[in-house]
Structure 1
Amino acid sequence: MRDDRASFARPFALQTPPIRTDRRATPDGALAPELLPTQIRLAQIIAMVHTASVLHEGVAAGSGAAKGNKLAILGGDFLLGRASAALASLGAVEAVELIAAAIANTVEGAVLRIQPPMEAAAPADAWDAYVKRVYLGGASLMAKGARAAVVLGGCTAPTRLPEVAYAYARNMGIAQHIMEDVREWEAGASFGGDAEEWVAPAPLLCAWDACPEVGALIQRRLADESDIDMARAIVDEHDGRHRARDIARRYAAQAREVLGVLPESSARTALETLTVDGLE
C-alpha cells in the first residue's frame, strides 16, 4: 500500500501474489454473501471517523460561531474516541492497524491542505500533490476500510482479495473526488477566497498544461472575482472539465479492471456497476 508521491502519478495497479481459495469461500469460489457482525461494526466505525473529520473540517473552514466551533471539535473528538474503542472489539490486528492508519492519514491530509501552493510547481507536480491530498483526505479511509472488511471476512495474505479490495476502493475514492470537483465547478461553486484551507480544483489543474497563466492564479488562490472569471474562461477554453472527467474515468476503469481476478458473482457485478454509475 504505497503512499509515496510517485505512486500517485497514475491509477493504482494491482501487483500481488496469485489468488488462492479461501476457507470462507463458497464452492464456486465466490465469497459468502452474508455480512459478519464485525464487518457491520467496521462500517459503523468508518462512518464515525468520516463524520468526525467532517465536523473538524467545518471548523477549520472558518466560522464566527465560537461556541459552535468548540462543540463541533468536541463532537468530532467524541466520535473518534468511540470509534477507537469500537476498533478494539474487532479482534483483528490488521484491521485495527488499517483504520488507525486511515485516521492518521486524514490528519496528514488536513496538514497538506493548509500549506500554501508551491510557487514554482509544475503542472505534473501540482497534480500529484492534489491526488495525494485526495487520497489522504478520504480515499485512504475508503481503501483501507475495504481491505479491513475483507480481512475480517477471513481473507488474509497470501490471497489476493485484500489487495483487490484496497486497489478498487483507492481508485474509486480518487475518481469520485475528481468528479465532485467537476460537478461543483459546473454548478458555479466559487473555489476562490482567502480561506486557510484551499485546494485548486481538478478542472483548473487540468487546464494548466495548456495555459501557463494558471500557475499564477493558483498561487493567488483565485483571490478576487477577476481571478475567478479568468480561471473559468481558461477552463472553458482548454477543456479542463473534460480532461478531469477523463482522468476520473481512467481511475474508475482501473478499479473495474482489478475486479477481473474475482469470480463472477452479484457482488462483483455491483462493484463493477459503481465504477460507471458511481461517477454520474
Structure 2
Amino acid sequence: MTLKLKDIQAPVALEMEEFEKKFRQSMKSKVMLLDKITGYIVRRKGKQMRPLFVFLSAGATGKITEATYRGASLIELLHTATLVHDDIVDDSNTRRGFFSINALWKNKIAVLVGDFLLARGMLLSMEHNDIDLLKITTEPVKEMSEGELLQIAKSKTLDITEEVYYKVIYQKTASLIKSCCKVGACAGGADEETIQKMGEFGRAVGMAFQIKDDLFDYGTFEIGKPRGIDIKEKKLTLPLIYALNNASRSEKRRVKKQVKLASKKPKMVNEVIKFVKASGGIDYAISVMEDYHQQAKDILKTLPESNFRTSLEDLVQFTIERTK
C-alpha cells in the first residue's frame, strides 16, 4: 500500500491547519514589500514535513500546546531563511517549481528577507521566553552553514571520505530534522531523556532522508533518467565515495577527472554513473540508508503506542519510499 501524506497527517490535521494561520501571522510586517514577499513564500510552501515532525513528536511524547505551535513556527522561519540564502549562494532561479526570491526580487532584497526571517524567529521565542526551544533550533542553523562550507571546500579537492560525507549530511539535513523532533518533545513537556531520544530519532531519519535524496542523482527508484546534478557540481555523495574507495589508483584518477569535466561534458556524467553502478556504490548506499531507517524504527518502538507514534512510523516509511 502506497503511503499518502494526507493519511499520515490525520492525527494532527486540525493542528496543521491552525499552524498555517499562526505561521503566516508570525511573518507579518508593516513594510508592504516585505509582506508581499512573505505572502509569496507562504503560498509556495512544500509538504510541510518539518512542522509535521514537530506536532507528531509532541503528541507521541506528551501533548500539543501553544508552545508546540511556536516551536513549529520557529523551525519554519529559520529553515525558510536558510533556503532563501541557499538560493542566493547557489545562484538558483527556482525552488520547488516556483521562482526563487532572488530571481524575482534580486539578491540584495533576498538577503534582507532571509535576515528578517532569522530575526523574526528569534524574536518569536524571546517574546514568549521559549529559551529552551531557541537553544534547540539555533544549533542546526550553525550546523547547516558549516556543512555547506565543508562541502564547498571538499568539492575543490574531491577527497571527501565516508566519515566527512556523514558529517556533511548530518549538518546540512539531519541536524534540522533532529531539531524538529526535539522541539516537539520539549514543547510537549517531555523529560530530558525523551527529548534526547527524539533527537536521535530525528537524526536517523534525516540521515536516511539525505542518502535517499543523493541516490536520486543516479536514476534509482523509478524516477527515470539520472539527474547527475551532484556530479556536475562536484559533490561526492555516498555511492561515488564507496566506488572510489574500492577502485584502483589509476581508475580513481580517471573517474575524478571525469567528475571535474562533468559540468562541461554531459557524457562524462553517464560514465561516472556507470562506474558507480558497476562498483556496487548504489547497493552500498541503500544498505546504509536502511540501517538508519532501522535505527529510527527501533527508537519509535520505545514510545507508548498511539496514533501519533503510528503516524511517525508511517512518516519515516514515507521518507524512504518517496520517488521525488
TM tier, shorter chain?
A: 0.7 to 0.9
2:270 corresponds to 1:229: yes
Structure number with the higher helix fraction is 2
RMSD: 2.6
Q: Tell me by how many angstroms 1:215 deviates.
A: 6.3
More relative contact order, 1 or 2 (CA 8 Å, 6+ apart): 1
2:129 corresponds to 1:91: yes
Q: Tell me by how many angstroms 1:116 deviates.
A: 3.2
Gap regions ≥5 residues in structure 1: 1-29
Does the Cα contact within 8 Å between 1:164 and 1:258 map onto a contact in 2? yes
Q: Tell me by how many angstroms 1:230 deviates.
A: 2.4
Q: Tell me by how many angstroms 1:221 deviates.
A: 4.3
Does the Cα contact within 8 Å between 1:42 and 1:149 map onto a contact in 2? yes
2:194 corresponds to 1:161: yes
TM-score (norm 2): 0.67
- The residue that corresponds to 2:209 in the other structure is 176
Q: Tell me by how many angstroms 1:92 deviates.
A: 3.6
- The residue that corresponds to 1:192 in the other structure is 231
TM-score (norm 1): 0.77
Gap regions ≥5 residues in structure 2: 1-59, 94-101, 220-224
CA distance in 2, matches of 1:169, 1:215: 37
Letter in 2 for 1:192: I
Letter in 1 for 2:165: Y
- Comparing 244-253 with 202-211, greater Cα deviation is found at 202-211
In the alignment, which of 205, 217, 229 is matched to residue 241 of structure 2?
Answer: 205
Which secondary structure does the structure 2 equivalent of 1:155 belong to? Answer: coil
| Distance of aligned partners of 1:185 and 1:113 in 2 relative to their CA distance in 1, 3 Å threshold | same
- The residue that corresponds to 1:129 in the other structure is 164
Does the Cα contact within 8 Å between 1:52 and 1:80 map onto a contact in 2? yes
| Distance of aligned partners of 1:179 and 1:214 in 2 relative to their CA distance in 1, 3 Å threshold | farther
CA distance in 2, matches of 1:90, 1:184: 43
Which secondary structure does the structure 2 equivalent of 1:211 belong to? Answer: coil
In the alignment, which of 247, 250, 254 is matched to residue 291 of structure 2?
Answer: 250
User: How many pairs does the alignment contain?
Assistant: 242
| Distance of aligned partners of 1:68 and 1:185 in 2 relative to their CA distance in 1, 3 Å threshold | farther
The 5 A counterparts of 1:21-32 are: 31-32=61-62
| Distance of aligned partners of 1:99 and 1:216 in 2 relative to their CA distance in 1, 3 Å threshold | farther
The one-character-per-residue Cα deviations of 1:189-211 (angstroms, maximum 9, x if unpaired) are 12334x5xx52133212322332
CA distance in 2, matches of 1:135, 1:219: 28
- Percent identity (aligned): 24
